[in-house]
Amino acid sequence: MSCETMSAEQIAVAQALGRCTFLPASDHKRFARDMDARSRITYPPALTERQSAQLARLAWRYRRQMPSALVPAEEPA
């Protein structure tokens, strides 16, 4: 499992997702809150490739609740 440090944009996306509203007890909510906490607590925060991909997918899915500058230009694969 290879880890990479979070970029400044990924940190901003994680923190924006932490402020979104989700369905109760959803996996998305748990992941977003975990990434938000990780981006604020650990330095430098690290992500696996799958976590990075999931962060992009959630940014696309919850794009209406996030600042437009943080939303991907197109839906991630």
Confirm whether pTM is higher than 0.85: yes
Whether residue 55 is contained in a domain is answered as yes
Instruction: Tell which residue, 65, 72, 74, 55, has the closest CA to residue 10.
Output: 55
What mean pLDDT value characterizes the chain?
Answer: 91
Query: What percent of the chain is modeled with pLDDT above 70?
Result: 99
Provide the residue range defining the domain that includes 25: 3-70
CA distance 72 to 69: 8
- 76, part of any domain: no
Does some domain include residue 33? yes
In a domain, 63, yes or no: yes
Amino acid at 47: L
pLDDT of residue 4: 86
Total structural domains in the chain? 1
The answer, yes or no, to whether residue 28 has pLDDT greater than 80, is: yes
For residue 1, name the pLDDT band (cuts at 50, 70, 90): low
Domain assignment present for residue 77? The answer is no
The confidence score (pLDDT) of residue 2 equals: 74
